[in-house]
Structure formats: C-alpha cells, structure tokens
Amino acid sequence: MTERDDERDAVDPWAGDGDDDWVESADDAPDPPASNSGEATDDAAGDGASVDAEPDTDGRSTTSDADGLGPRRYRVLDRGDDSLVFVDLDTPEPGPGPKPDEGFEPVRVAADGYDDEDVADAVAALEPGYVLTGTLRWPDIAAGEDGDGDGDSPLARVESLTVERESRYRFIDDAEPMFEAARDAWRDASAAGDGMGSRVTRDTDGEPNGALYVFSEAGARDLLGEFRSGTTPLEPLVERVNDDLDDGAPREVFVLRPPDGAFVAVYIAFEKDGLLARTVRDTYL
C-alpha cells in the first residue's frame, strides 16, 4: 500500500456521539458483538434504480400484509447462486424506556425465479454492499407455495426495490501478503493485550482515506464467516464512517483474513472508486 497511516488516530465504532467520533482512542473498544445489535445506519440516498418501491414519506417502515414486510431499508451483505443475504437496517420504533438494542437482522432472499422482468433484472443487478428500500414477501407454505426446497426456512422474495447507495463489500480469505497497516495495527493491539485495534489511514498527501479495524479471531470462531453471514454486523463500523463524513458517497469495504487466521481486518475505503479501493482490489482480486 502507498498510503501512510497515523498511529495516533484510531477508530472506535461503538463510541458515543461527538465531533469526529471516528477519530478516537480504541483502547477501551469491546470485541465485536457476538450477535446482531446496534442502531440502523442512516445512509443518505443517492442515484439508483427504482422498481415500484416508494418509501413512506415519514421514513418509517410499514407491513404490507401478513406474509410481507415493507417497504424497509436493507443492505445487501452477500450473494450466492440461489440466494442473497440482506441485512435489515430499520430498527423497531422505541417505546417507553431504553431504546431496544436490536437491528441488522440477516434475511435470506431468493436470487432468481421472479416472474416480473423488472424485479428480476433489479435483483440480478444487486451487489454486496448496496443499500436499498424494498418490500419482501415470504411464501405461504400452507397455501402450497414453494419454500427454498432444501428443508431450511423459506426464502423471502422481492416485490419491489429502490437502490439508494451503491457501496461495495468484498470478503477475502487467505489474503496474502496482508498489507502493512493491518499487520502493524494487529501487532500494536496484541502488544497491548487488546482483541481489537483500529486506526485511520492516509494518502501520500496526508489526507484520511480509510478506516481500518483489526479483530482477534482466537479459538474456533469464524469471524470472517460471521461478518459475511450477518451474525456479527459490519454496520456499526460503516455507520460511524458514514455519519461523520456525512457526504452521501458510496464506500468500498474489504473484510480480509490472512492465511494464519490470527485476525480479521475490516478496511473501509472512503471513496468506492478512489486510489485506495483500487489498490486493495488490484492486490487481492
């Protein structure tokens, strides 16, 4: 990598609100959550494709029918041959008492088999990292509709969607050679006895260009797999960057694990098509 990192700056995605919150000490930062928790990110809407979906004017989600849900905001986390993983970005409306620690629930969605050509094309064009507003419907097994056919829970199907933000997520296992900033961050965290380390990286002109986090993957835990499946959410990390940059721009997020599996690095490039993102892509993809 050509960018220089400032070891004095660090990122704490779970810190409280304040000026430049993503440039704070990570000494007291906890390990990544073991299950879905946190607050939904408020990504700014950008240019994108729309297929029949119109979000509520007050920004709240609605339930369309007993077997449907929407429109709601989702992040596309991953996609396979037959299904996609969406992450629900909408949290329940808080009632009396503390705000509920919920959100970022993964939802398995059918990737094909749509009769509506517009919906089929829109779903086919989705990439991991995209933020969308969409309405989902689950098949009514009791009425004879097909599930996913493999005995698991039935896949949700998209009735309509609007792409809001075309960020991109990349998951890279056995990343070699792991770039220097990540190795240094992990060395510093290990020396301090911490399970997490973080820092802001900078370009050759000294301008911040990315937020880097490293997490221990001790024992049998598959943290990269948890990030990819949504059981451990990436959203608190991305949310912190989006909130503080507040520019509405898409990001490119790289989740990398070296061959020795000692740690997992999450690297958020501030510009999706900037030099940093291109450099990481050229190195590992």
Output the pTM of the full model. Answer: 0.76
The verdict on 207 and 68 lying in the same domain is no
Alpha-carbon gap, residue 111 to 82, rounded angstroms: 5
The mean per-residue pLDDT over the stretch 54-78 comes to 61
130-134, 147-151, 275-279: range with lowest mean pLDDT: 147-151
The verdict on 161 and 55 lying in the same domain is yes
Task: DSSP letter for 117, please.
Answer: H
The verdict on 175 and 107 lying in the same domain is no
The verdict on 202 and 134 lying in the same domain is no
The verdict on 143 and 59 lying in the same domain is yes
Is residue 151 over pLDDT 80? no
Percent of the chain at pLDDT > 70 equals 68
Contact 196, 213 (CB under 8 A): yes
Amino acid identity of 183?
R
Q: Using the 3D structure, point to which of 119, 144, 166 is the last residue of a domain.
A: 166
The verdict on 99 and 182 lying in the same domain is no
The verdict on 34 and 173 lying in the same domain is yes
Alpha-carbon gap, residue 154 to 145, rounded angstroms: 10
Across all residues in the chain, what is the average pLDDT? 79
DSSP β-bridge partners for residue 84: 79, 109
Pairing between strand 68-79 and 252-256? unpaired
The verdict on 174 and 157 lying in the same domain is no
Q: Using the 3D structure, point to which of 166, 195, 211 is the last residue of a domain.
A: 166
- DSSP string of 15-39? PPS-TTTTSS--TTPPPPPSSS-S-
SS3 38: coil
Q: What is the structure's pLDDT at 210?
A: 98
Answer with the residue of higher pLDDT: 20 or 4: 4
Is residue 260 over pLDDT 50? yes
1-10, 120-129, 227-236, 263-272: range with lowest mean pLDDT: 1-10
The verdict on 131 and 87 lying in the same domain is yes
Q: What is the structure's pLDDT at 20?
A: 37
- DSSP string of 94-129? P-SSSPP-----EEEEE-S--SSHHHHHHHHT--TT
End-to-end CA distance of the chain: 15
The verdict on 26 and 11 lying in the same domain is yes
Q: Using the 3D structure, point to which of 148, 166, 184 is the last residue of a domain.
A: 166
Q: Which two tokens stand for residue 81?
A: 């041959």
Tell me the CATH number at 57: 2.40.50
* Structural domain of 237: 4-39+169-284
18-32, 127-141, 229-243: range with lowest mean pLDDT: 18-32
Q: What is the structure's pLDDT at 152?
A: 66
Is residue 274 over pLDDT 80? yes
Alpha-carbon gap, residue 134 to 144, rounded angstroms: 25
14-28, 132-146, 184-198, 242-256: range with lowest mean pLDDT: 14-28
The verdict on 211 and 267 lying in the same domain is yes
The mean per-residue pLDDT over the stretch 260-275 comes to 97
C-alpha distance from residue 168 to each of 78, 249, 273, 277 (Å): 10, 11, 10, 10
Residue 15 covered by a domain: yes
Percent of the chain at pLDDT > 90 equals 62
* Model confidence band, residue 144 (pLDDT cutoffs 50, 70, 90): low
The verdict on 119 and 96 lying in the same domain is yes
Answer with the residue of higher pLDDT: 8 or 76: 76
The mean per-residue pLDDT over the stretch 71-100 comes to 81
List the one residue out of 98, 187, 113, 203 whose CA is nearest residue 149. 113
* Model confidence band, residue 45 (pLDDT cutoffs 50, 70, 90): very low
Q: What is the structure's pLDDT at 218?
A: 76
Q: What is the structure's pLDDT at 113?
A: 95
Answer with the residue of higher pLDDT: 25 or 166: 166
Residue 44 covered by a domain: no
Quote the number of domains for the chain.
Answer: 2
